[in-house]
Amino acid sequence: MSAEAARLVPVPIDLLAGDPVEVAPRLLNTLLVVGERVVRIVEVEAYRGREDPASHAYRGPTRRNGTMFGPPGRLYVYFTYGMHWCANVVCGPESVPGAVLLRAAAPEGGLEAMWAARPAARRERDLCSGPAKLCQALGLTGAFDGADLLAGDLGVRLCTDGTGPPAAAGNGPRIGISVAAEHPWRWWVPGDPNVSARSAGGAPAPEPL
């Protein structure tokens, strides 16, 4: 353990216990830790439950989405497109489905392991600049579904180093969905090179629920 890692503390559970739309922006600049690998979350999307047609939980519990209906602070990992894993932080009160998709992160530690896990990456910003890339870089698979991010029971932790979310986070529509694309439920750290496409600019345009 490096001296840097020792300064990290688990995120408070209160931070995760609310509605995904409130929790998501608060996760910006938190740290996801898997062994030696450390990344800083720089882009997230909120997925709600019954009221959100784009959410896996929209049609109720299934074999895949069970973790979304569990307590907050767990990792929901799902398989998609026949080859990719994506990770979410479960939030909301227990039994009320909701989660925050981790879309992109900035590599901060254990870079060698990430390069090894992502042979297709050419530049550092290719390591974690997407939900499936992030999982590949960190080695997150279905084996980690349901992991307790605060207790670190499966070796994955969500921590903070005291850096709060940006004063003015970027905000816009979610990516890659075919329904409910009108809600601006994606947030990012303005100017970070790991953020998807040209989400540049730091113009926050928060639209109330």
In the bound complex, what is the minimum distance in angstroms from residue 54's beta carbon to DNA?
6
**Paired residues of 75 in beta bridges:** 89
* Cβ distance to DNA smaller for residue 2 or 62: 62
Residue 81 is a binding residue for DNA (CB under 7 A): yes
- Provide the 3-class DSSP secondary structure of residue 137: helix
DSSP-derived letter for residue 154 is T
The correct pick among 12, 35, 59, 206 for binding DNA (CB under 7 A) is 59
Residue 126 is a binding residue for DNA (CB under 7 A): yes
The correct pick among 17, 111, 113, 132 for binding DNA (CB under 7 A) is 132
Q: Which stretch binds DNA (CB under 7 A): 21-29, 31-39, 76-84, 155-163?
A: 76-84
74: its two tokens: 């767990």
The beta-carbon contacts of 9-14 under 8 Å, at least 24 apart in sequence, are: 9/159, 9/160, 10/149, 10/150, 10/152, 10/157, 10/158, 10/159, 10/160, 11/149, 11/150, 11/158, 11/159, 11/160, 13/72, 13/73, 13/150
Tokens 């503390």 correspond to what residue? Answer: 9
Q: Which stretch binds DNA (CB under 7 A): 22-30, 31-39, 79-87, 148-156?
A: 79-87
* Cβ distance to DNA smaller for residue 150 or 177: 177
In the bound complex, what is the minimum distance in angstroms from residue 153's beta carbon to DNA?
21
φ, ψ for residue 84, nearest 5 deg: -120, 145
Residue 5 is a binding residue for DNA (CB under 7 A): no
Residue 56 is a binding residue for DNA (CB under 7 A): yes
As a whole number of angstroms, the distance between CA 127 and CA 137 comes to 6
Residue 108 is a binding residue for DNA (CB under 7 A): no
In the bound complex, what is the minimum distance in angstroms from residue 59's beta carbon to DNA?
4
